[in-house]
Amino acid sequence: MERDLPVVPSLLLLLLLLHFAVDCNGSKVGVCYGRNADDLPTPDKVAQLVQLHSIKYVRIYDSNIQVIKAFANTGVELMVGVPNSDLLPFSQYQSNVDTWLKNSILPYYPATMITYITVGAEVTETRDNVSALVVPAMVNVLAALKKAGLHKRIKVSSTHSLGILSRSFPPSAGAFDSKYAYFLKPMLEFLVENQSPFMVDLYPYYAYRDSPSNVSLDYALFSPSASDVIDPNTGLVYTNMFDAQLDSIFFALMALNFRTLKIMVTESGWPNKGAAKETAATPDDAQTYNTNLIRHVINDAGTPAKPGEEIDVYIFSLFNENRKPGLESERNWGLFYPDQTSVYSLDWTGRGNVDIVTGANITSSNGTWCVASSNASDADLQNALNWACGSGNVDCSAIQPSQPCYQPDTLASHASYAFNGYYQQNGATDVACNFGGTGLKTTKDPIKWAPEILLLRLRHQMQSIPPHG
C-alpha cells in the first residue's frame, strides 16, 4: 500500500501533503460581508478580521474598490456582485460592462482572488421586474471576461431566493414557479454551458418563524432530537430543514432536466436578536444553527437526495447591519459586532477535534480518537479496513482514488480514517476501537500531531530519492 511519490523538491512535497491533509473535505464555508450599516470597521480591518478567523471565502454585494483592494494578497477568495440597480445598463450595452471590468476588477486581479461574479441578487423578490435583464447582463459579463481571458477562472451566476419555487414541500415535489420560466430556462442553459453553479439563499429560520406549527425549532436547528420528516413520494428521510430546502431545489432542477447542475448556497444563517415575537432570534440559537450547518457542510454529508454531495455555503452575515429596514431581526444576523468582537463563538473549521490526518470530520465528545496501530501488520490492517468500510457501515468514499481524503495514500492513513469514523459513530467505547488489536485509542489530539506525521512521511519519501550525480 505504501507508494513513493514522484520526486519533487522537499518543501513543495511537504506543502502538498499539508494541503491534502488540512483541506481534505471538498465543501467550502464562506461568509457574506454586507455593508448596509453606518458603524462598520474599515475594509482593511475587516480583511484582517477575516484572516484572523481563517475564513477563506467572502461574498460582497457590489464591486466596491476599497473592499476589493483590502483583500489583495490575503488568500481569501472573493465573490463580487452586480447589484440589481446595475442590471439595466449591464444588459443594454457591452461597453458598460467592459468599462466596469476594466476599472473595478482587472486592476486588482489576481492579487485579489476574485472567483465569482453574481449578476443580480434575488431578482424575483424585487418590486421592479428586472428578472428579464439578468441573462442579457450575465451574457455581457461573460463576454467581457472572455476578452480578458478570465472566463475560465471567474464564474458568472446569479443568486435566488427559495421564492423562485412554486412548491418546496415535500422536497420531491419541488418545482420552479412557471411565471419565471421566461428567464429561468435560458439562465440554466447558460450555467450548464459555462459550468457555473445555480446559486440560492436558504433560510430555515424563516420557515420556522412563519410556520412554527408545521416546522419545529429542533428541525430548523439540525438538532439530533428533531423528529424525522419522510418524503411520501421518495421515502427519503429528512432530519433538518436545510436539507429539505436544498433538495427541493435539486428536484426542481431535475424536473427540467438539469440534474447535473451544481447548487451553491450563497446565503444561510440565523439572527441573534429579534422583536418580541421572534423568540428564536437569540445568540444561542444562532450559534447552534451556524455551528451545525458548518459541521454538516464540512462533513460532505450531502442531502438525502444527493448523499456525499459537496455543498458550498456562505454564512449570512459577517456583521449586524443597523441600516436594514424591517423587523428587528433583519439588523441582527451578524457574527461580529462593529467593534469586531464576536456575538458568539463559532468554529469555522466545522471539525471540533477532528482528525485532520485521516480527514474524519467527527467531533470527539470525550477527547479520544481511534487510529491505526503502528504495530499492526499490513494484512491485519487491510482486513480491519475492509470490515469497517463494509459491515461497519463507515462511509469510506472520501478515501477512494481522486477523492478529497485519498492522500496521504497509505494503508495506515486510510485505516485510521475508517477506524475513527466507526469509533465515534459507535459511542467512542474501548470495544469500538479494537479492530482485532489493530486499533489504538489515543488522547493526543490528531490536529496537534498531524504535522509530525507528515514530516515523518516526508522523510520516508525523501529516503527513497537517489542522490544527485
Please check whether residue 344 is in contact with residue 283, taking contact to mean a CB–CB distance below 8 angstroms. yes
Of 13-17, 57-61, 421-425, give the lowest mean pLDDT range.
13-17
Predicted confidence at residue 450, as pLDDT, reads: 46
Distance CA 351, CA 357 (A): 12
Predicted confidence at residue 367, as pLDDT, reads: 73
Q: Catalytic residue at 267? A: yes
Name residue 370's beta-bridge partners: 441
pLDDT confidence tier of residue 366, bands split at 50, 70 and 90: low
Of 44-53, 149-158, 221-230, 400-409, give the lowest mean pLDDT range.
400-409
Would you give the distance in Å from CA 406 to the centre of its chain?
20
pLDDT tens per residue, range 264-323: 999 999 999 999 999 999 999 999 999 999 999 998 889 999 999 999 999 999 999 999
pLDDT tens per residue, range 149-167: 999 999 999 999 999 999 9
Predicted confidence at residue 363, as pLDDT, reads: 43
- Burial class (CB within 10 angstroms; exposed 0-12, middle 13-18, buried 19+) of 118: buried
What percent of the chain is modeled with pLDDT above 70? Answer: 85
Distance CA 61, CA 48 (A): 19
The cell for 286 is 444562532
Please count the other Cβ atoms lying within 10 Å of the Cβ belonging to residue 56.
17
Please check whether residue 281 is in contact with residue 329, taking contact to mean a CB–CB distance below 8 angstroms. yes
pLDDT tens per residue, range 109-134: 999 999 999 999 999 998 878 999 99
* CA-closest candidate to residue 346, choices 34, 44, 16, 52: 52
Distance CA 414, CA 419 (A): 9
Distance CA 157, CA 29 (A): 18
* CA-closest candidate to residue 420, choices 450, 378, 456: 450
Predicted confidence at residue 353, as pLDDT, reads: 36
Predicted confidence at residue 3, as pLDDT, reads: 35
Catalytic residue chosen out of the listed positions 2, 77, 122, 321: 122
CA distances from 405 to 23, 311, 409, 415, 417 (A): 9, 16, 9, 12, 9
Please count the other Cβ atoms lying within 10 Å of the Cβ belonging to residue 91.
23
Residue 18 has pLDDT above 50, yes or no: no
141-144 — which CB contacts under 8 Å span 24+ positions? 141/82, 141/90, 141/97, 141/101, 141/117, 142/190, 142/194, 143/94, 143/97, 144/94, 144/97, 144/98, 144/100, 144/101
Catalytic residue chosen out of the listed positions 2, 125, 193, 267: 267
Domain ranges of the chain: 26-336, 369-459
Q: Where are the beta strands (DSSP E) in 13-164?
A: 29-32, 57-59, 77-82, 113-121, 155-161
pLDDT confidence tier of residue 351, bands split at 50, 70 and 90: low
Fold of 26-336: TIM Barrel (3.20.20)
DSSP for 402-460 reads TSTT--S--HHHHHHHHHHHHHHHTTT-SGGG-GGGTEEEE-S-HHHHHHHHHHHHHHH
| Side chain identity, residue 308 | G
